[in-house]
Structure 1
Amino acid sequence: MIILPRLYLLIITLFLCEFVYAQNENLSDYYLIQRKYENRLENDSTVVPLVNVFIKKAKSEKNYEKLFLGYKDALLFSPDPSIKLKYADSVISVARLTKDESMLSNAYMNKGVVYYFNLKQYNLALDQYLIAYKLGENGKDLFHKNRLRYHIGIVKSYIGYYKEALTEFKAANQFFEGQTKLDIHPNLMFNYQRGYYNSLHQMAICYRNLGNFKAADSIVTLGLMETYKNVDYRQEYAYFQKEKGINRYYQNDFRKAVSMLNGSIGPLVAVDDFATLSIIFSYVGKAELKIGNTDKAINYFKKVDSIFNKHTFMVPELRSMYEVLINYYRTKGQQDDAIYYTQQLVKADKKINKDFLYLSSNVHREYDAKKLLKEQSKSIRDKHLTLFIAVLLFLIGLIFIIFRTIHKRRKSKLSTFSKEENDMKGNHRIEIDKETEMHILGRLDEFEKKHEFTQEGISLKELAGKFEISHSYLSQVINEHKGVPFKRYMIELKIGYITEKLLNDSKYLKYTTEALSKECGIPSRSNFSKWFFEINGIRPTTFIKNRSETLEIPQEKHQIS
């Protein structure tokens, strides 16, 4: 009587074991493929055939989640950046099929990383990051959010917003460090550890550029200690060694700087980090110059120029070496070389200015402003949560008043600022033939090239009259092709024009805010300051101060006639 229940129990147990084993066997097919390459180094092309087996299986089974992972692995192990971009697009396509916004956000961020790390095309990288940010804003994947925050910080650091970048890096670093203290899978631990070291490295860069060498040196020393002789983090060790060398340069220990900087080169050549190599070569060149080894310095500066020619990578701290090269060849009487490097300096300035205008405007408008509003909203909710019941009736009355006021203001503002935009909403879109549309775009292009937008007070109807077209047609074309209403279009043209003048013509740095607003056709100084900050993310006075300090120009203000 006792044997029978035991027999049943044995049969049930064997059945369950077989069922679980069958499930594990089915699931492990992908794992068995991935296990063959999961510990291989990034950009190892010999792994790609194995990854293709993984991808083929996922395709045949229409397993989009596995296909997503397969394409991400292919992106990781393909050494050619152009192939990486193709796989990045495949990751995005598969993510769309899953209809999972968090996966799609992750896919766009990965494409941004290719643009940033492999191609150093910061404008294109930022575009992908901002799409990823919008898609993942309400997601729960904290690793993805902090990784994205890190990359937004990279863009801010690149355009010189070191204080803002430092805030992003500190937050990401705190998260990654916290995760490294947990008992998790080795692969996850590796990702968190790299996130911790990379954000630590970027914090050191920010502190250095902010002039806080003590904080930078402290971070670098910590990074070197933690990554020393660790084969998994050779690249990270090289980054800290590079920063240590730069700090030695600023401490006037030039020979030690050369030694440490040269020691960091190998691992970074292995991953083709040409951007960091440019920084290293420039500082080795400057250190050799201080030591008195001019010919060695020139050779290192030429390496930076070679990278600029190949990858169009340029940051403000590299441009001064062109002045050294120009003077060097002028002194030697080699005018052709001096002219060549003068032309390179012009190209470098153009690249820096173009990147600054695009990146500063977009990172402020699409990331900082929205993030600030979200944080303010959360702060207000948290602050009033405990007082909610006591002040409920008061808040209801207050909210009613506020909404009524806002409604009136918005109604007034919309009627004066963008009436033409409202006319085109819903079913009011006007059908414009292609020939007319192209004619309007041509006139707008001419209008922009001749800087006619700097005329004060020009209205939509006046411009339409000048173009001899309907103002409704002009309004619709501007909305659809410029992406903004007419008045916003005019503001962006004016601010873009004066920003470019401030970057490229030093005489404008001596103008007062009132003179600058007049120059670009904005009659109100306060509106000019407000719109300049809104578009560039920095006050015009601060912008002028920073630019003047960079060019070493005394700030002597004057008006224009």
Structure 2
Amino acid sequence: MKIIFFLLLIGYNFSYAQTAASAESLKEYTYEELQEKFYDYNYAGRSDKSKQIAQYYLAKAKKEKNNSQIAEGYAFMYVNENKENALKYIDSMSIIAKKLNENIYPTRIYLLRANVFLKFNNQKEALDNYILGLKYAKQKNNKRQIALAETNIAYLNNFIGKHAEAATVLRSYMNNADYLNANEIEKIRVNLADTYIEINKLDSATLLINKGLEVFKNKDPYRYHQYLTLAGFNNLKLKKYHNAIGNLLESKKYFLTTDDERNKNYTLFYLGQSYDKVQLKDKAVQCFVEIDSLLQKNDYVFPELRIVYTYLINYYKEKNNKETQLFYIERFLKIDQLLDAQFRYVSRELPRQYDTPKLLKEKDSIINELENKKIFFILSLCTLLLILSLLIFLYHKSKKAEKRYQKIAQDLILSVNDSTVKNETKPEKEMIPDHIHDQAVINHKPIKTISEDLTQAILKGLRNFEAKEQFLNKGVTLGSLAKKIRTNTRYLSEIINTHKGKNFAAYLNDLRIDYAINRLAHDKKFRSYKVPSIAEELGYNNEQAFTLAFKKRTGTPLSIYLKEIEKLADTEN
């Protein structure tokens, strides 16, 4: 399957017969929306609609004298044309491109020309244009265009039998090219599955094929049947001939209703080979005769045609049918000359124009690397020493910080225990260390806008809120608390700021953390909870919010506070 699927950059050409959208209905769309519609229709094989959109797009761009969009219009126009017209549209794009200062040119011109030559079975011209496109893409350092050129050259490598090299390139781009779009990655995946089969990495091919069948079943018949043909080819290699026949018969039924000559031929070719393996030679011949009939109509050639005609010649020789044997000998000689010319050129020029420059570049790179080895070693050593020094500094800094946190935690635990002794008659929730509880300076100066009676009523509501530990409830807000104590948010906010010395958020956090400090110190079961559970019981939505609030309030991380409590508990036991 050396050349299958590698013409996919042109677009999909299968069954279509829908009424074109009127030009009038396209006026409401922007250029971007027209582009999207063009690709959607073209991909779905509705070339009548995509062609009309291309015509409208180009006319609109010319009317508006928008050179960038005129170039794009020519790119749309060439897709569904014959070879001669397609090249004319690309030439027109080339003229417009000279007026544009865009990074994608002239690479784009060469890549599009290459696509046309590939579509119409001229590998020689396609290769020359891909090589030129790659050259300019590298000059412009355009990663996307480099990828498009190199993946197409990889398909040509697959064509001449250099499957392992092709697989290496395709695998690299499939996994590391986020600048390619989903359709382009999918084309790479299909071709990679093909190359895996060719180099007998059948397990890897099976994984890709099964994924494709699963993704596109009942969603995309074209791609589904692409993968089904690959499944047939894979089963042929696995010697599961009856499975292969089943796959390929279904693919044949689909592709014979389309204009996709590539997949028609390869489906028939692998079906014929599968029939031969189960000794159904008459059916194999029927498939190969059908390939020859298709070739006479469309001139689509592929390397495996030598196998097709050799099989037909030998079959009719065994049947002693001289007339038919001679017919296929003459057909073979004609096709073989064409294959030989194309194959020799691509086989010779690919290493010379693509592989050799890469090897020379690699050679220069190695020489430069050796010449700079001493400098590289010194720089690396200096960098390592710097990193080591930084790590030592950070280690000592972290140890120093850890000791500071431990001291804070120990003092905090001591304060909690002292408060417990001093306040044995008080509820546990009030046993807050003095240096934590009264950090804020509280201004008891009356608020002019709020009466003294209302102030006292709000303060009483706050005391009740604290006494009943309602601050542990989730979703407590200034609004909900104001409603609970029958006031408005402005008054409540002013009272908290004035009498508590902090805003509402800090007030709520401090109540929760003060509660946590005491309960963790005295409640062994509570300490055994996981941090997310502790956070949830304290009314926090997540663990991070709790741990950040704890450190901000106490000056030490929660983890160190818990460790110090456990150390003290172990000492006492």
Q: Which position in structure 1 is the counterpart of 2:132?
A: 131
C-alpha spacing 1:96/1:325, structure 2 compared with 1 (3 Å): same
Letter matched to residue 301 of structure 1: F
CA–CA separation in structure 2 for the residues paired with 1:274 and 1:212 = 27
2:213 to 187, 204, 224: 224
Q: Which position in structure 1 is the counterpart of 2:526?
A: none
Alignment partner of 2:375: what SS?
coil
Alignment partner of 2:105: what SS?
helix
Q: Which position in structure 2 is the counterpart of 1:165?
A: 166
The yes-or-no answer on 1:323 pairing with 2:310 is yes
Q: Which position in structure 2 is the counterpart of 1:365?
A: 352
Alignment partner of 1:102: what SS?
coil
The yes-or-no answer on 1:73 pairing with 2:76 is yes
1:111 to 110, 113, 118: 113
CA–CA separation in structure 2 for the residues paired with 1:345 and 1:205 = 26
C-alpha spacing 1:31/1:198, structure 2 compared with 1 (3 Å): closer
Letter matched to residue 322 of structure 2: Q
TM-score, normalized by length of structure 2?
Answer: 0.55
Q: Which position in structure 2 is the counterpart of 1:182?
A: none
What are the superposed Cα offsets for residues 512-551 of structure 1, whole Å, 9 maximum, x if unpaired? xxxxxxxxxxxxxxxxxxxxxxxxxxxxxxxxxxxxxxxx
CA–CA separation in structure 2 for the residues paired with 1:119 and 1:275 = 11
Alignment partner of 1:241: what SS?
helix
C-alpha spacing 1:389/1:274, structure 2 compared with 1 (3 Å): closer
Letter matched to residue 54 of structure 1: Y
Contact 1:152 1:168 in 2 (8 A): no
Contact 1:197 1:223 in 2 (8 A): no
CA–CA separation in structure 2 for the residues paired with 1:45 and 1:52 = 11
How many residues are matched?
Answer: 351
Shift of residue 301, structure 1, vs aligned partner: 0.3
Unpaired runs of 5+ in structure 2?
1-26, 380-573
C-alpha spacing 1:126/1:382, structure 2 compared with 1 (3 Å): same
What are the superposed Cα offsets for residues 375-415 of structure 1, whole Å, 9 maximum, x if unpaired? 454566678768538889xxxxxxxxxxxxxxxxxxxxxxx
Alignment partner of 1:97: what SS?
coil
CA–CA separation in structure 2 for the residues paired with 1:192 and 1:267 = 27
- 1:196-275 alignment to 2 at 5 Å? 196-231=185-220, 234-265=221-252, 268-269=255-256, 272-275=259-262
C-alpha spacing 1:213/1:87, structure 2 compared with 1 (3 Å): same
TM-score, normalized by length of structure 1?
Answer: 0.56
- 1:532-547 alignment to 2 at 5 Å? none
C-alpha spacing 1:195/1:51, structure 2 compared with 1 (3 Å): closer
1:297 to 284, 295, 298: 284
CA–CA separation in structure 2 for the residues paired with 1:69 and 1:80 = 18
Shift of residue 319, structure 1, vs aligned partner: 1.7
2:66 to 63, 67, 86: 63
Alignment partner of 2:304: what SS?
helix
C-alpha spacing 1:59/1:377, structure 2 compared with 1 (3 Å): farther
Q: Which position in structure 1 is the counterpart of 2:152?
A: 151
Shift of residue 343, structure 1, vs aligned partner: 1.7
Q: Which position in structure 1 is the counterpart of 2:55?
A: 52
C-alpha spacing 1:147/1:36, structure 2 compared with 1 (3 Å): closer
CA–CA separation in structure 1 for the residues paired with 2:245 and 2:359 = 43
CA–CA separation in structure 2 for the residues paired with 1:260 and 1:246 = 9
Q: Which position in structure 1 is the counterpart of 2:95?
A: 93
What are the superposed Cα offsets for residues 50-94 of structure 1, whole Å, 9 maximum, x if unpaired? 322221232244322111111112223x25454333323333333
Q: Between the two proteins, what is the percent identity of the paired residues? A: 23
Contact 1:223 1:240 in 2 (8 A): yes
CA–CA separation in structure 2 for the residues paired with 1:96 and 1:263 = 49
C-alpha spacing 1:329/1:129, structure 2 compared with 1 (3 Å): same
Q: Which position in structure 2 is the counterpart of 1:353?
A: 340
C-alpha spacing 1:153/1:125, structure 2 compared with 1 (3 Å): same
Shift of residue 262, structure 1, vs aligned partner: 2.4
Q: Which position in structure 2 is the counterpart of 1:194?
A: 183
- Aligned-residue Cα RMSD (Å) equals 3.1
CA–CA separation in structure 2 for the residues paired with 1:327 and 1:389 = 65
What are the superposed Cα offsets for residues 467-526 of structure 1, whole Å, 9 maximum, x if unpaired? xxxxxxxxxxxxxxxxxxxxxxxxxxxxxxxxxxxxxxxxxxxxxxxxxxxxxxxxxxxx
C-alpha spacing 1:98/1:378, structure 2 compared with 1 (3 Å): farther
Letter matched to residue 189 of structure 2: L
CA–CA separation in structure 2 for the residues paired with 1:39 and 1:159 = 33
Q: Which position in structure 2 is the counterpart of 1:277?
A: 264
Contact 1:254 1:287 in 2 (8 A): yes
C-alpha spacing 1:257/1:270, structure 2 compared with 1 (3 Å): same
Letter matched to residue 69 of structure 1: E
Alignment partner of 1:103: what SS?
coil
Letter matched to residue 48 of structure 1: K
C-alpha spacing 1:36/1:254, structure 2 compared with 1 (3 Å): closer
What are the superposed Cα offsets for residues 267-304 of structure 1, whole Å, 9 maximum, x if unpaired? 64566332232121111112223334333222210122
Alignment partner of 1:342: what SS?
helix
Q: Which position in structure 2 is the counterpart of 1:184?
A: none
Larger relative contact order (Cα-Cα within 8 Å, sequence gap ≥ 6): 2
Shift of residue 105, structure 1, vs aligned partner: 0.5
Shift of residue 154, structure 1, vs aligned partner: 0.9
What are the superposed Cα offsets for residues 222-271 of structure 1, whole Å, 9 maximum, x if unpaired? 3323333333xx33332221111012123332222122112224664566
